[in-house]
Homo-oligomer: A and B are copies of this chain.
Amino acid sequence: MSDSEKKISCNLTEKEASVLRNNLPVDEEIQDLAEFFKVFGDPTRIRILFLLKQGEFCVHDITTMLEMQQTAVSHQLKSLRQSRLVRYRKDGKQVFYSLNDEHIDEIIAIGLNHLNE
């Protein structure tokens, strides 16, 4: 939205407030967006994403690299799977995880950029 279109006001009428309120996405979409970003809001999951930027790894190796318990890692991988940020591939006893969204780099880059501003 260009600056010229933006409102500056205080004490909107209920009618005006209602118009602006109705411009918001529906609750479900808002909720889904929040859930999506929540996945990035945990250090362990961020570390897993950074690891997977380097390649495809099995759970055991992820556990070793993070120096965490296997169950803790599996729980977080589940969260990443459910939000479709990672994909997995089974090979015998092992399960290999890799990134599943080409925009992950982009999102993280924006975050890093913001922190350095």
Contacts and interface: CB of A to CB of B under 8 A. Distances in A.
A111 B11 CA distance: 32
Interface string A1-22: 1000011111110100100110
Contacts of A107: 107, 110-111
A11 B115 contact: no
Contacts of A112: 29, 33
B17 A115 contact: no
B46 A30 contact: yes
Interface residues of A, number: 63
Contacts of A29: 112, 115
A62 B82 CA distance: 33
A53 B1 contact: yes
B115 A36 contact: yes
Contacts of A106: 110
A90 interface: no
Interface string A56-96: 11101100111100000000000000001000000000101
